[in-house]
Structure 1
Amino acid sequence: MKITPQTILASQPDIHLAMKEFAGIKIIEAMEVLIKNLPQDRKDQLMLKIDDIIDEVCVLGDELLKP
């Protein structure tokens, strides 16, 4: 099954959580080779940083969507 914003929204009706989940999936897909080859401690650090970046992007998205 292909993951799209619509498929995530179908299972996660909260737009903010869905947006965060979709962004996380796409970033991890893009960095899959790097992530796979990192030692576990570095992988954990990278995943935390990715979470921080996704949070920042979601905040920016909220600001841009305000009327």
Structure 2
Amino acid sequence: MLNSSIEKDLPEKAGSFPALKGHFAGLRKYRVGDYRVIFAIVGDDVMILRIAHRSDVYKKRS
């Protein structure tokens, strides 16, 4: 479900997903059920930076 949603929706609608603030400023999020995809738009490309459960996706990594 997660992979097919990302492949289907993200490339076409990347600019319409909410922009993030704070530590993640300049990035966007895509919600798929309980999971979040954090990504950046770089020119005509979408760069996926993180995919994780919503309770973990915004935590700083060590």
Q: TM-score, normalised by structure 1?
A: 0.27
Give the number of the structure whose residues are more often helix, by fraction: 1
Structure holding more strand per residue? 2
Higher relative CO (Cα under 8 Å, sequence separation at least 6) belongs to: 1
TM-score, length-scaled by structure 2: 0.28
